[in-house]
Amino acid sequence: MNKEKYPKDAMRVLKETSRTFYIPITFLKADLKYSVASAYLVLRAIDEIEDHESIQNTTKFDLLMQLSELFKRPFTQEEYCDIIAPVKEQLPEVSIRLVDWIQACPEGSRSLMMETASEMAFGMAKWAKENWQVHTKEDLDDYTYYVAGCVGVYLSKLWNWSYGQETNEELAIGFGRGLQIVNILRNQKEDKEERGVSFVPDDWSRDQLFAYADENLAQADAYIETLNEKSTILFCRLPLAFAHKSLAAMKKGEKKMSRAEVEQTVKEVQKEVDEK
């Protein structure tokens, strides 16, 4: 395998999979860029299984639990293919090539990424079994931790690994949760009507969801204030700015930011970080 071209291929798939996260990831220095990009692709590969419309929940639970165990050690493409064999034809490229994304991750951070993937797969399996029916705030905290909060923890471990930055774990979890709850708010109607699932605690109003988002985004803001490396500040600041603006738009009854607003936000964040 051509090691020079391989990370570029990972970045190609990343760009095709998520333009939103592709932009901030490119701001990171090389070791962090490939550590974050590879992790995004691995976690997206798992997420595609959890979210798949045609795969039964019982099958999702079995697959994700097997993957959670598999991530606890190095494994081969053959081992992975054996697990996903029943659904392989239904999965996108990002899921089928999961082992490639692991190999693209720098060796120094690979074990951190594997631990995170194992934890996320376990949590997704748990909630697939429950058909994603959130009933209490504790349920919502649990779900948002497994699908996003643990990613905040992973990022903090990366900052420490790469340049010795220490951060507060609770604030890191809040950073992940804040981004996730904005997605939940954005997709609340579709999740209920099209998937028959609800991430909203029983008897909660939309205003209570907004308050939950505000609380976690405030933790995200505090988290970023603890960072001292320019590229990681820029990386974190951009999706957080998107989240704040998307939340503000939804509070006014609008669903999402326009493309022009996205481009303007990128410029604003770059200027803000440059001036610090």
Where is pLDDT greater, at 10 or 256? 10
How large a percentage of the chain has pLDDT more than 90? 75
- Give the number of other CB atoms < 10 A from CB of residue 274: 9
pLDDT in tens, 100-136: 999 999 999 999 999 999 999 999 999 999 999 999 9
pLDDT in tens, 249-274: 999 998 766 677 777 877 787 777 67
- Give the number of other CB atoms < 10 A from CB of residue 130: 16
What type of residue sits at position 28? L
What type of residue sits at position 13? V
pLDDT in tens, 157-210: 999 999 999 999 999 999 999 999 999 999 998 988 888 888 999 999 999 999
Task: Check pLDDT > 50 for residue 1.
Answer: no
List the structure tokens of 35. Answer: 């550590």
Return the exposure string of 104-114: e unless at least 16 CB atoms fall within 10 Å of the residue's CB, then b: bbbeebbebbb
Contact (CB, 8 A) for 94 and 45: yes
* Location of structure tokens 């798949």: 52
Contact (CB, 8 A) for 49 and 63: yes
Beta partners for residue 133, in sequence order: 198
Task: Check pLDDT > 90 for residue 7.
Answer: no
Beta partners for residue 198, in sequence order: 133
Q: Residue 272's pLDDT is what?
A: 73
Q: Which H or E run includes 271?
A: helix 259-275
User: Which range, 12-16, 110-114, 238-242, has the best average confidence (pLDDT)?
Assistant: 110-114
Could you give the CA distance from residue 26 to residue 29 in angstroms, rounded to a whole number?
8
pLDDT in tens, 137-152: 999 999 999 999 999 9
Contact (CB, 8 A) for 185 and 247: yes
Residue 202 neighbours by CB under 8 Å, 6+ apart: 135, 136
- Mean of all residue pLDDT scores within the chain: 92
Tell me the CA distances in angstroms from 7 to 26, 193, 255, 260, one per residue in order: 12, 39, 35, 30
Could you give the CA distance from residue 180 to residue 22 in angstroms, rounded to a whole number?
17
Where is pLDDT greater, at 215 or 6? 215
- Place 5 in a pLDDT band, splitting at 50, 70 and 90: low
| CA angle at 132 for the pair 127 and 138, rounded to the nearest 5° | 80
Q: Residue 3's pLDDT is what?
A: 46
